[in-house]
Chains A and B, each alone.
Chain A
Amino acid sequence: MAVIVREKRILSGREVVVKIYKSKHLVTRADKEQAEQLDRFLEEKMKEISREMKESGLLKLKGKKGVLKLWYEIGKRLSFISDKNIVPEDDREFIWQALYDHAGDLHPGKSRMNRPKTNYFRYCILIAQFDWDLVKTSDWTSWVEFLDSKRIREDRRIIEWLLRRSKEKPSKEWVEFTKGSRQDWIRKLTKPIRHRFRRRATTELTDEELFSELDDIFNEIYSSCE
């Protein structure tokens, strides 16, 4: 199959948008038709999400302080991307750029549109997998920074640790740590986590070892904040 993305080209002296059929194979007419069908589906879907966001008033948050809720809700609605029947695995790496093409009002900016692993729509889907209660304790910028770490993206237990620390009887220190300062707490944690596991795969650590190291990180930061 193939995925249609759009790029600007100068043709006969004029700037025009051309359709590129991204695929790992030569594009036959059958592939072309399927790609066009997918393209129409994505266009409709993005319009529908955009309409919903507008009606719920969330779209107004774009570029503002509480934008996290907008991206969280978009992420929930983009979960269809992981459905193999809609997007074949071979084409998944190209789908993100296509989402950007059809994003309209939802367009998060071009800076990451060609990055299959670290683009904003993918992050929307990732954070939408967690409870809003956890997600809302920080802000979008800090979550992006958090998810930019390969180790964190690859080991779900780090997020689970966050969940546990915040939900299961959060300690007095944790409450103090997270309250009020919003973006700060997750940002303060991200850096030392990235630093500590820069060369180490956390997946080789047992739950106990990983959580103990993460607790250490937390305690170090907490004590330095006091």
Chain B
Amino acid sequence: MSNSIESYVPREELRDTIIGWKNIVEQIVDAYRVRRGLVHGVQKDAIQNAWDARVYKKGKEWKITFELVEQGGRAYFVITDRGTYGLTGRILTKEEMESEEKLPENERWGRFEGLGFLKAPLGGTLGARGRGKFVFVGASKTNTIVYDSLRIDGSYRSGFRYVTRTRSPVWAGDEKKGKSKLIEVTGGVFKPLDVVGTRVIIVDPCEELITDVASGLFMRYIEETWWEIIQKYQAKIIMRARGRQRVAQMPAGFDLPEEDTKKYRVWIKNNKKVSIGKTTFKIRKLHIVNKRSGNVPDDIRGVAMQRGGMKICCIDPPRYIPWEIAKSIYGFITLDQQTEEGLLEAQAEDVEHYSYDFRKTLPNAIRRYIEDEMAKFAKEKLGWRVDARTIRRQMQREAERLALTMINKFAREIGISTGPGGGGGGGGKEWKKIRLQTMQPEFPRKDSLRVNYGESLKNISTCVINDTPDQIVVRFKLFIRRGDQEIKTFDEQDVTLDPSSRSQLFGPFQEDFSQDKYPETGKYIIVARIRSLMSENKGEELDEKRLSVYVEEDPPGRGLFEKCQAVEVEDLKLYPMMGQAILGESKGYIFEYNLAHPAYKAVGEDRSSLAEYLFRLMGYELCRIDLEQEEPRLFTKSYKEKAADALFKMNEIVGLLMFRYYSESA
């Protein structure tokens, strides 16, 4: 076989894949919706593009204007920047675009017309893959945008894009041709740009955009996202709508005093090298503020992680800090350039620029540092007297899961993790023709399904997809249950869908977990369900998606030990043991501990001591289980014949396990 499969057939017989462009736009828009919403995405991407294209690093002469134009029975949302290079570069052919993935910095027009083309070099700019313009397309009811640019070399070009079901055509024209086309397609509402910069016109903007612009919410989004460039560089961001003009300022409630005052307490760290575990990074500034008088708005609560002048996401105060304090903490962290580049190189930032993947080492270390500093601040300056009982209760709940989690983790590491949950399978499962597409909700912690009291689960959302050639009618329901009991319904409605289409996004919803609403800790399930309302199969369950949420406890760990179970055998002559592993229900073991044993009685007062006790006992049983294997992992085969040596080795292993228990649970 030659290198390329296309050499086997005449070139003219090859066809391009038909792309469902409308769906792609929907998907991109949905990705923004589940974060902060489509409208938030419009401002974030618009300013990001313009800021990236600024001529002067510190934003001299830079300006961006948003304007709602309502004229001739039609609405337009216009984004115009100044002090930028304009959309420089050539109109690239498909072949040129194909030649390399990373387009040169200067080929701004080419990138604006394409999708998925990276900038080169990577660092120093905010955007990445050119998804932003599709947010503009998605914000247009007719999926249409018109744009023009007067470039820094004095040349002019205009263009437009619209999206149909299977096409996303673009048009571009230079100078006279471009100018007359702009006037023509906008019915004379707009004249060609006469100042260097770029203008994007969203034709027929959607209602939510118009509403948020009119209500001032759009401006709040801008201020909350771009406060850093507003403060540092006096960046000019202007909003004009319905005869009113506003210039973006520092967001209300986001005062950043440098010293303690009557109203505020502050915690500042400047230019610091930080080491967390093996990871080292450098911060420019960590600035945390506590508003003494109480609540701060939700959108600024926590510490904003900034990159290149833009807010990416917020780190919430750690869960141990009482809500009374946590609710009034806000601030930001800026990182040195190398650390920012490190985050980009690690591809830790999501493509919409709203979050980091905190499973990755660097963002995880930064988050831990911020959380630690917030806790120090609360203790040292905010009078957080750590209530021993609260912490104790919290620790007990943690400890309860800890014993199982850690012993299973250890067993897994050494390769004896035959327990429940192994195998998996499930490959080759076909998508249902009528199905739900659920978005992954945002948990308080990226790597855990746990939610504590006072915390929220955000962006609970889903949509219905109809891949059949028929119109369908279904009843959609999104709710949370515990066991069989429904706790809350987020949404329930009847949905009619055309052939090969998808519904609107249901949500995003946010659920705040409080002790009042969720008095029982443990597992809850969020269920999205569609049932047929069509006469031929009314009531048939067409699809169901479930997601577990663990309130005030960690999800059960999977592994060698399925669970711990208490037994009581009072006659210690019959059962002198403190505990033992017996075969479980799902290929693993159940560790049974004897409540009649005096050793239990000594530790049974609280869950933390009990957890440690059980961990130790499971450590011994882990050794026994390993020694019984044909190919032991902790022991060598020779130990099977030498009992004394094996016992000594067992002691050593349990010692090692206990060391890890105390060091890792600290």
Contacts and interface: CB of A to CB of B under 8 A. Distances in A.
Contacts of A26: 400, 403, 564, 566, 607, 610-611, 614
Contacts of B611: 26
A28 B566 CA distance: 10
A93 B540 CA distance: 28
A44 interface: no
B604 A28 contact: yes
The size bracket of the interface on B is: 35 or more
A191 to B, nearest CB: 18
Contact of A18 (B403, B540, B569, B573): B569
A156 interface: no
Interface stretch (A65-73, A167-175, A196-204): A196-204
A28 B531 contact: no
Given A28-B605, A32-B604, A204 B538 contact: yes
B479 to A, nearest CB: 13
B258 interface: no
Contact of B539 (A2, A25, A27, A197): A197
A29 B400 contact: no
A201 B531 contact: yes
B597 to A, nearest CB: 12
Given A23-B566, A199-B537, A203-B539, 12 more contacts: A9-B569, A16-B569, A18-B567, A20-B565, A26-B400, A26-B564, A29-B604, A200-B531, A200-B537, A204-B531, A204-B533, A205-B539
A180 to B, nearest CB: 34
B483 interface: yes
A11 B574 contact: yes
A64 interface: no
Contact of B538 (A18, A23, A200): A200
A16 B574 contact: yes
19 contacts: A11-B569, A11-B574, A12-B575, A14-B574, A16-B569, A16-B574, A18-B569, A25-B607, A28-B607, A29-B604, A32-B566, A32-B604, A90-B520, A200-B537, A201-B540, A202-B539, A204-B531, A204-B532, A204-B538
Given A16-B569, A23-B566, A29 B541 contact: no
Contacts, number: 89
Interface residues of A, number: 31
4 closest A-B pairs by CB = A200-B539, A21-B566, A27-B566, A29-B604
Given A11-B574, A197-B539, A201-B531, A20 B567 contact: yes
Contact of A209 (B538, B568, B601): B538
A89 B568 CA distance: 23
Contacts of A24: 522
A40 interface: no
A185 B471 CA distance: 40
B595 interface: yes
Interface string B213-239: 000000000000000000000000000
Contacts of A205: 538-539
Contacts of A22: 565
Interface in A184-226: 197, 199-205, 209
A201 B542 CA distance: 11
A182 interface: no
Contacts of B567: 18-21
Nearest to B573: A12
Interface string B537-579: 1111100000000000000000000001111110101110000
**From A21, A27, A197, A200, residue with most partner B Cβ within 10 Å:** A27
B539 A12 contact: no
A141 to B, nearest CB: 26
A26 B520 CA distance: 16
A32 B52 CA distance: 64
Interface in A109-138: none
B595 A27 contact: yes
Contacts of B652: none
B606 interface: yes
**From A25, A200, A205, residue with most partner B Cβ within 10 Å:** A25
Interface in B150-169: none
A79 B595 CA distance: 31
A204 B475 contact: yes
B590 to A, nearest CB: 10
Nearest to B482: A89
Interface string A22-50: 11111111001000000000000000000
B554 to A, nearest CB: 12
Contacts of A23: 566
Given A16-B574, A20-B567, A29 B520 contact: no
Contact of A90 (B522, B537, B540, B575): B522
A89 B483 contact: yes
Interface in B441-483: 475, 482-483
A62 B77 CA distance: 80
A151 to B, nearest CB: 9
Contacts of A90: 520, 522
A107 to B, nearest CB: 22
A21 B475 contact: no
Interface in B594-648: 595, 601, 604-607, 610-611, 614
B179 to A, nearest CB: 59
B432 to A, nearest CB: 13
Contacts of B522: 24, 90
A11 B575 contact: yes
Contacts of B605: 28-29
B543 to A, nearest CB: 13
Contacts of B400: 25-26
A25 B564 CA distance: 9
Contacts of B540: 199-201
A199 B564 CA distance: 37
Nearest to B569: A18
A204 B520 contact: no
A11 B576 CA distance: 10
A204 B566 contact: no
B520 A12 contact: no
A28 B610 contact: yes
Contacts of A9: 569
Contact of B541 (A12, A21, A201, A209): A201
A213 to B, nearest CB: 9
